[in-house]
Amino acid sequence: MTVQLKSRQKGITFFGLIFVAAVLAMGGVVIAQVIPTVIELQAVQKGVQKATEGATVAEARMIFDKQASIDDIKSISGKDVAVTKEGDKVVVSFEYQREIHLFGPAFLTLKYAGRSK
């Protein structure tokens, strides 16, 4: 009497592979659209830091606008930043949102906010 061991196949099916590839591709497309907004956020934070050099509200906004034109910031302008004073220190804060169209009526909304240090 011989005992035969059946080896079971392990792995992913073709349809499973197609499904995983489609999910990864969609995730890649979303990430590829989010990365530029994160890069722009870093430029906005740099501009806000630079704007704290201004002594008045108008001067801080002008400095931010100059930095925005250098770094190609399109989501926010100098009139959208809030300039306040805390003690003798100028504090510049911002808040804005970006919408990324995914498909059909679906959008990804990214809300960014920050302030100078």
Residue 1 confidence (pLDDT): 57
In a domain, 3, yes or no: no
Backbone φ and ψ of 95, nearest 5°: -160, 125
Task: Provide the number of structural domains found in the chain.
Answer: 1
Residue with tokens 């005992």: 3
In a domain, 10, yes or no: no
Mean pLDDT of 80-106: 92
- Token pair of 110 as six digits: 């990214």
Confidence band for 3, pLDDT divided at 50, 70 and 90: low
Q: What is the pLDDT of residues 59-83, one digit of tens each?
A: 999 999 999 999 999 999 999 999 9
* CB neighbourhood size of 33 (10 A): 15
In a domain, 22, yes or no: no
In a domain, 14, yes or no: no
Residue 24 confidence (pLDDT): 97
pLDDT > 60? residue 7: yes
Task: Residue 116: name the closest of 51, 28, 49 by CA.
Answer: 49
Residue 40 structural domain:
36-115
In a domain, 40, yes or no: yes
- Token pair of 89 as six digits: 């220190």
In a domain, 66, yes or no: yes
Confidence band for 96, pLDDT divided at 50, 70 and 90: very high
How many Cα neighbours within 13 Å face the side chain of 86?
8
Mean pLDDT of 4-33: 88
In a domain, 30, yes or no: no
